[in-house]
Structure 1
């Protein structure tokens, strides 16, 4: 059904200054079909009446039977072929095919009547049809035509019987007056019906649009949303609620009791408390997960206003993962740290420069090899600390884009083996399996940056991996697009979806004692060298166990990066 659009017309326009912008109105079309059915019924009754009158031997004009048959055929053809476009704006083909035929038929029957039969009440049908389905001018014009026909019939009878004429004139005048009142009222009701239909269509379209927008907003919220009734049944839930609560929430048929799972009983109790106190509630509750430790969730409830039709309020429950909230807070801290990083850099760099210079001067006067080795260690670590400071500052502040020289070409397999063995010696971790398969391929990467990336990934893997041989696997490989890859795989538990979304964001960590900068700095270092870093849950072999795989895809050797 096409919507009804109303626009303000010019002064004097029919329908009270309102025009229907579309050519279809379901209400007026239903009225049209109703009038067509009424015409069938009237035509059939007229024909049956003529036949019954003829059968019982009462005087009947033969022409009246022919007129009744012709009227029945005309109603059938008119309803089949007459094209109705609301409203009827003039006495055109549609008017003549319906109202005009009715007026002509009833007038002929009135003139051909024999005995006491009076066909005057039938004129109400064309009057109503014109007033309801036509403009005000069509309705009043049709009523005026009927009144003139009634007065003409009274005048005809007056010419035939002058002594009994006053009653017919008065009856015609009163009937015409009543028909005018009925036409005005019917037209006003028809116009109001069309106006209410247009308003209902607009409101329904607006409601559908708002419902779609609300659904989209709720689905994209990072907060979980549950809609609960006073009986503790969940009527709506968004994807974020499924990620926070788990337990197969997305697969449940709505509505379902919130206390279906024992892990959700604290939420059901909080919803019941909200209905009991008729006030918002806010609590932090642990929610057990299918895998892993319980998740701390901040729960806030709100009550919707009660409906005017007697429907009770609904409890809207908002679920927020405290870990994600803490991650956002840490991100805000990063912005604050950026504003003070320049001053801190100067404060750190100056002592580092003094330490480096002092150790260099001291080395010139030292003869003992042991002492010279100690000063060399001081210089090496001071320089390494200076590079780390530069890397952290690159994370904390935005540098102007410029061309920077990339690191030297390094053989990937040899470097990875050296760095991995160094990490194994320092961490005393056993069971690390190294598989190198790039065939001596070189990549352009700073060795110290590669060390930081590999050490960070190995530290993360060791934190969650098992103790068996091969629980941590370091491998390299090359693909057909001339790109080398580094993989650090561990058999740890799967990462939660919420953790995966923020893996490489600053200050986000599932460990309370972690700074949350490790993977973020790894990503920054990879991007500086044209490489990419990512994560996926997969098995290294076809029938092997699944694990957490962090991979680095290096840029082709000829790539130059614009910072």
Structure 2
């Protein structure tokens, strides 16, 4: 008893599972079956009249047969139109239509009087469709309804014809066939549903991986371009930035007048790629031709010099690597050589720092002794001059001369000590701890802290964000501003420094300007070399350290001889955030410190 109850419970649970086709598949198959119903009903009605005339019979089909078929054609047309227009309660519409099919076929079977092979085949189609389109319980009800109608009609016919058990046996065999076809159709539909779920899950996973890949490619520092059959099919944001090609999401193709709703995203993407290829052919024709000239299946790596008129003042060269893909397509990887130069600079500083640190510590010990001895000698001379009031003029002259010599020794020891401190700073340089810096907020605070009381004018023409180590940026700007104030004071009585911040392509430009005499042409090749200086009080490590700090943060420090003023230019990549850059042209001074 318990096993039978469990069996019934399992069957009930199995029949009520929601393992049915998706709504899109259900609608498509439902439209096909509704069209099939209308065609079959119309064909049956026509065949009845054609058969009656072919038999040369003067009598028309029975009134019940005519009425059933006419009603069937009308309802089939209504159900087809209703299913096509109304997208809700599709399974209820299908269940009603399948129940109608069973009733009409039973009436036709009753008018035939005996089992008919054609009607039997139509029953099989209805049963199979019910298990394909409906829930298991609904399909089972449709099948049982068909069995009941068939058995009842044949049982009634058998009684009226003196119990012809042969027809009743045929009806029972037909009913068993219904159940077998229904079971097979239901099993097949479940397999199709499972396959559809697996396919949908795989499609979602592929789409998810596609989105992840697109995001990874978009956020890559290196530029990525894919060329297929001389057409660009992929170009990330870094490629636009490195080649100085504007990335305009709203650009459209010249020959596209309107976008289809379903394909609008693909059309916009194709339009952006079309615009990118046009700009690439215009600004970098040499690069594009070099990529196309590489034979299929071959790889190549070369250095590309950016042409004048792009962002050559920001970037000097790009490394281009061409990798062959399948179907004669090519992958282009564009790499900014600034990062490689920064890495090389870090290695050079690390090796130099190990040597200079040990030497600096060894020099500091005797230097401290010399400095202390010179101070003691100066104190001794001062005390002897104070105690002796009867010294001769010659003795006074000797003491004064010795004091000047001691003072010279002491000042030179301080200068050497400054050099050692700069060298130790160089040796202690660590990996840059980059942070996002909003210059409009950071610069005024920096100038307030370090240059209050000096004439330093800040002019902001944009509102950019850069990624830089804040301590290293402070050291760079302090050195450049101090140099500007010192050298401009040599040329003018009123020393001042101007700071201009603006954007060029995808980089932030910080110009440090002063009114000094500038750098001589013969000194330009040695300007950023260590220990090179034109100031007698300088150590020659300030600009070298500043350039090293910039390269450690993927930035550049340049001297611009073409500028009308003495101009040192710091170039750093802009950090793109959700807040768009506000291009505020403001030529007035933002502050005087």
* TM-score tier after normalising by the smaller chain length: 0.5 to 0.7
Of 525, 534, 545, the residue aligned with 1:517 is 545
The answer as to whether partners of 1:392 and 1:521 remain within 8 angstroms in 2 is no
Partner residue, 1:242: 240
Q: 1:499 to 1:61 in 2, by over 3 A?
A: same
Deviations 1:1-27 (A, max 9, x none): xxxxxxxxx996799999657994311
Q: For the residues of structure 2 that align with 1:496 and 1:54, how far apart are their CA atoms?
A: 86
Which residue number in structure 2 is paired with residue 36 of structure 1? 34
Q: Deviations over 1:307-356 (max 9, x none)?
A: xxxxx142111111212211133345666777888756633532442342
Match of 1:273 among 264, 285, 294: 294
Give the conservation status (yes or no) of the 8 Å contact 1:246–1:290. Answer: no
1:346 and 2:381 matched: no
Q: 2:220 and 2:486 mapped to 1: Cα distance?
A: 34
What is the distance in 2 between the residues matched to 1:360 and 1:153?
A: 130
CA contact (8 A) 1:223 1:318 kept: yes
Q: Distance in 1 between matches of 2:475 and 2:95?
A: 94
- Would the alpha carbon gap of residues 513 and 68 (structure 1) be closer, same or farther in structure 2, given more than 3 Å must change? farther
Report the alpha carbon displacement of residue 382 of structure 1 after superposing the two structures with TM. 4.0
Q: How far apart, in 1, do the equivalents of 2:551 and 2:239 lie?
A: 30
Structure 2: distance between partners of 1:60 and 1:473: 116
Aligned equivalent of 1:320: 335
Shift of 1:227: 0.3
Match of 1:202 in 2: 201
* Mapping of residues 348-497 of structure 1, within 5 Å: 348-363=363-378, 364-365=380-381, 367-368=400-401, 370-382=404-416, 384-385=418-419, 388=422, 392=426, 395-396=429-430, 412-413=452-453, 415-416=454-455, 453=477, 455-457=479-481, 474-475=496-497, 487-489=498-500, 497=506
Q: Please say if 1:233 is aligned against 2:252.
A: no
Deviation string 1:211-252 (CA, Å, 9 cap, x unpaired) is 2211211111111111012x3332211121222223558778
**Cα 1:268–1:180 shift into 2, 3 Å:** farther
The structure, 1 or 2, with the larger RCO (C-alpha pairs under 8 Å, 6+ apart) is: 2
1:285/1:299 contact within 8 Å kept: yes
SS of 1:288's equivalent in the other structure is: coil
Maintained 8 Å contact 2:349/2:427: no
1:300 Cα deviation (Å)? 1.9
Deviation of the 1:102 alpha carbon:
2.6
Which residue pairs with 2:441 in the alignment? none
Q: Is the CA contact (8 Å cut-off) linking 1:299 and 1:319 kept in structure 2? A: yes
Question: How has the CA–CA distance of structure 1 residues 298 and 244 changed in structure 2, closer, same or farther, with 3 Å as cutoff?
Answer: same
Query: Alpha carbons of 1:200 and 1:18: their partners in 2 closer, same or farther (altered >3 Å)?
Result: farther
**Mapping 1:520-531, distance limit 5 Å:** none
SS of residue paired to 2:273: coil
Q: Residue 131 of structure 1 corresponds to which residue in structure 2?
A: 131
CA gap 1:23/1:41 in 2 versus in 1, 3 angstroms = closer
The TM-score, its normalising length taken from structure 1, stands at 0.60
Contact 1:245 1:289 in 2 (8 A): no
Aligned match of 1:508: none
Tell me if 1:190 matches 2:189: yes
Change (3 A) 1:158 1:269: same
Summarize the Cα distance change of 1:287–1:163 in structure 2 as closer, same or farther, 3 Å threshold. same
SS at match of 2:59: coil
CA distance in structure 2 between the partners assigned to 1:352 and 1:17 by the alignment: 96
Instruction: Tell me the equivalent position of 1:295.
Output: 316
Question: Match of 1:286?
Answer: 305
Question: Matched residue of 1:100: which SS?
Answer: helix
Deviation at 1:96, TM superposition (A): 6.3
Pair 265,147 (structure 1): closer, same or farther in 2 beyond 3 Å: same
The superposition leaves residues 274-306 of structure 1 with CA deviations (integer Å, 9 ceiling, x where unpaired) of 51xx243323332324244673222222233x3
Contact 1:300 1:319 in 2 (8 A): yes
Maintained 8 Å contact 2:341/2:551: no
> How do residues 110-125 of structure 1 correspond to structure 2 at under 5 angstroms?
110-113=109-112, 119-125=119-125
Between the aligned partners of 1:105 and 1:541, the Cα distance in structure 2 is 88
- After TM superposition, the structure 1 = structure 2 runs for residues 9-20 of structure 1, keeping only pairs within 5 Å, are 20=18
Q: 1:273 to 1:521 in 2, by over 3 A?
A: closer
SS of the residue corresponding to residue 29 of structure 1 reads helix
Provide TM-score, normalisation by structure 2. 0.58
* 8 Å CA contact retained: 1:127, 1:183: yes
Let me know the Cα RMSD of the aligned residues.
5.7
CA displacement 1:150-182 (0-9 Å, x = unmatched)? 45544444444459764x467656655665564
- Does residue 1:215 correspond to 2:214, yes or no? yes
Distance 2:37 2:244 in 1: 64
Q: Flag structure 2 segments of 5+ consecutive residues without an equivalent.
A: 1-7, 252-270, 382-398, 434-445, 460-472, 513-526, 531-542, 553-569, 575-582
CA contact (8 A) 1:297 1:320 kept: yes
Equivalent-residue separation in structure 1 for 2:48 and 2:124 (angstroms): 20
Cα deviation code 1:456-503 (max 9, x no counterpart): 24769999xxxxx99x9945xxxxxxxxxxx4359xx976746869x9
Corresponding residue SS for 2:294: helix
- The answer to whether the 8 Å contact 1:258/1:265 transfers is no
Aligned length: 452
TM-aligned CA distance change 1:398 to 1:264, over 3 Å = closer
